[in-house]
Amino acid sequence: MSRPGRKEEEIRRMLDAPHPLVPADLHIRAARRGARLRRRRRALHHVGCVLLLVAAIAFAVWAVAVEPWVVPPSETTPEIDGW
C-alpha cells in the first residue's frame, strides 16, 4: 500500500486536534445574513423586471411613432408623369 501524501497527513492532524469553539449566536447571524441576501436578491429581481417593462414600453412607443414597417418612398428615380 502506498504511503499517504503530505496533504492527507496534514488533514489527519487537523482532524485529530481539538475542534475550535463555535460562537453561540452563529445560527442567528447566519439566518440574518441569509434574510438580508434574500431581500437584496428579490429587490434586484423587481428592479430588473421594472427596467425590462420600461424598455418594452419605450420600444413600443418608438415603433408606433417611427413606423419602421412602412417602406420609405423611393428617392433614386424621379416620378414619371404623363405616360
pTM of the model: 0.60
- Residue 28 grid cell: 442567528
Average pLDDT of each block of 10 consecutive residues along the chain (83 residues)?
Answer: 78 87 94 98 98 98 92 74 71
- Which pLDDT score, from 0 to 100, does residue 35 have? 98
- Which pLDDT score, from 0 to 100, does residue 1 have? 47
- Which pLDDT score, from 0 to 100, does residue 72 have? 78
Three-class HEC string of 23-69: CCCHHHHHHHHHHHHHHHHHHHHHHHHHHHHHHHHHHHHHHHHHCCC
